[in-house]
C-alpha cells in the first residue's frame, strides 16, 4: 500500500464516519438517508482500497439502490408529511447510548485483545476470482440455500403485504381476463 492509498483510505474512512454521525445529527429524513448513503459509499471505497474491488464497487452499487428505495418508503409512511418538518432522529437516547457504548468498548477491546495472525502466503492476483471460487465451489450449498431463503422471504413478504390477491384480480373462478387492476399493466394479463 503506497502513500496515495493511505491518504485515500484515511479520507474515505473519515468521510464514512462523518456521514455516520450526520445520520443522527440531521433533522430531515431525506438528508439523513443520503448521509447514510455517503457513509456506505465511502465504506465501499475503503473495501476497494483494501484490495477487494468487486465487493467495494458492488457495495456502492447496491447501497445507492437500497437507500433510494428506503427513502421512498420512509417518506411514504412517516407521520411527518414529505419530510420537510424538522424531526429528531434520536429515540430512546439513554438506552441507545448505553448499548452503543458497550458495543464500542467490546469491539475496541476485541481489536487489541485478539492475537492477529501474521501474513502467510501472498494476496491473490485477482481477489474477484478468489471470491467467486469461494462462493461457487466451497460455499456453493450455503449460497444456494441463502439465495432461496432470501427469495422466498421477499416473495412471502410481498404476498403478506399485498391486500389484493389473485381472486380479487381474476375473479372467483380465476377466469377473468384481463385482470381487474386499478391500473392496467403492460402485458395485459
Partner 1 sequence: MDLTRRALRAAAARPRVLPAALPGGTPARLEAERLLRLRDWPVAATPAGADLLLVTGPDCPALHDPLARLWGDLPAPRARVHAATAAEVASALDTGRERLAAWSGRGSGAQGHAGGNDRVQEPPEGGGGHAHGQADDGDTGTGMPMPGGLPMAETGPDRDGLALDRLHLALGPFLCDWPTGLTVRLVLQGDVVQEAVCEDPAAPGGTPFWSGPWLRAAAGEPVTAGAAARHRAAATCDSLGRLLAVAGWPEQAVAARRLRDGLLAGAPAGALRGPADRLARRVGRSRVLAWLTRGIGRVDGGRTGGSAPAGPPGADGDATDRYRRWLDRLGRDVRHLDDPAPLDPYATESPRGPWEPAHPPSAALLALLPALLVGAELAAARLIVAGLDPDPEELAGAGVAPRG
Partner 2 sequence: MVERGPWWTVAAAPLLLAALAALAVAADALLAARGAGRPVTLTAAARPFLALPRALVAGPRRLPAPDLLLWRAGVVTVPVAAVLSTLVIPFGNTVVADPSVGVVWFNAMEVTTWAALWLAGWGPNAAFSLIGGYRFLAQGLAYELPLMFALIAAATGAESLRVGDIAAAQQGLWYAVWMPVAFAAHLAGVLAFSFLGPFAHPAGRDAAGGVLGELSGPDRLLLQAGRWLWLASGAAMAVPLFLGGGAGPGLPAWAWSLVKTLLVLALLVVAARRLPVVRPDRYVELAWVVLVPLTILQVLVPALVVLGR
Chain contacts with partner 1 (rule: CB under 8 A): 76, 81-82, 84-86, 163-164, 182-184, 186, 188
Residue 40 binds which entry of partner 2, partner 1, none, CB below 5-8 Å type-dependent: none
- Cβ atoms < 10 Å from Cβ of 160: 7
- Verify binding: residue 65, partner 2, rule CB under 8 A: yes
Of 173, 189, 87, 106, nearest to 181 by C-alpha is: 189
Residue 4 binds which entry of partner 1, partner 2, none, CB below 5-8 Å type-dependent: none
Candidate residues 37, 42, 47, 49; the one interacting with partner 2 per rule CB under 8 A:
37
- 36: cell is 447514510
Q: Which is nearer to partner 2, 20 or 55 (CB)?
A: 55
Question: What are the φ and ψ backbone dihedral angles of 119, each rounded to 5 degrees?
Answer: -70, 130
Q: 136 to 175, contacts with partner 2 by CB under 8 A? A: none
Q: Which is nearer to partner 2, 15 or 60 (CB)?
A: 60
Measured over the CA atoms of residue 108, residue 110, residue 115 and residue 120, the dihedral's sign is negative
- 45: cell is 471505497
Minimum distance, C-beta of residue 104 to partner 2, in the bound complex (Å): 30
Question: What are the φ and ψ backbone dihedral angles of 37, each rounded to 5 degrees?
Answer: -65, -45
Q: Which is nearer to partner 2, 12 or 67 (CB)?
A: 67
- Verify binding: residue 71, partner 2, rule CB under 8 A: yes
- The CA distance from 74 to 23, in Å, is 14
Q: How far is CA 38 from CA 35, 165, 168, in A?
A: 5, 39, 42
Binding site for partner 2 (CB under 8 A): 28, 30-31, 34, 37, 53-54, 57-58, 60-61, 64-65, 67-69, 71-72, 82, 84, 126, 128, 183-187, 189
Amino acid at each position: 500500500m503506497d502513500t496515495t492509498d493511505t491518504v485515500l483510505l484515511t479520507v474515505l474512512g473519515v468521510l464514512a464516519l462523518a456521514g455516520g454521525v450526520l445520520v443522527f445529527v440531521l433533522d430531515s429524513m431525506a438528508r439523513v438517508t443520503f448521509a447514510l448513503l455517503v457513509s456506505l459509499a465511502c465504506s465501499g471505497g475503503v473495501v476497494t482500497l483494501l484490495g477487494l474491488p468487486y465487493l467495494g464497487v458492488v457495495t456502492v452499487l447496491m447501497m445507492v439502490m437500497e437507500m433510494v428505495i428506503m427513502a421512498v418508503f420512509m417518506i411514504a409512511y412517516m407521520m411527518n408529511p414529505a419530510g420537510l418538518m424538522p424531526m429528531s432522529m434520536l429515540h430512546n437516547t439513554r438506552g441507545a447510548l448505553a448499548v452503543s457504548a458497550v458495543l464500542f468498548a467490546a469491539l475496541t477491546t476485541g481489536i487489541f485483545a485478539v492475537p492477529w495472525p501474521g501474513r502467510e502466503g501472498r494476496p491473490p492476483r485477482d481477489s474477484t476470482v478468489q471470491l467467486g471460487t469461494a462462493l461457487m465451489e466451497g460455499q456453493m450449498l450455503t449460497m444456494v440455500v441463502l439465495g432461496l431463503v432470501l427469495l422466498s422471504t421477499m416473495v412471502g413478504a410481498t404476498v403478506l403485504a399485498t391486500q389484493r390477491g389473485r381472486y380479487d384480480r381474476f375473479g372467483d373462478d380465476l377466469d377473468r381476463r384481463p385482470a381487474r387492476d386499478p391500473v392496467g399493466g403492460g402485458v395485459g394479463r
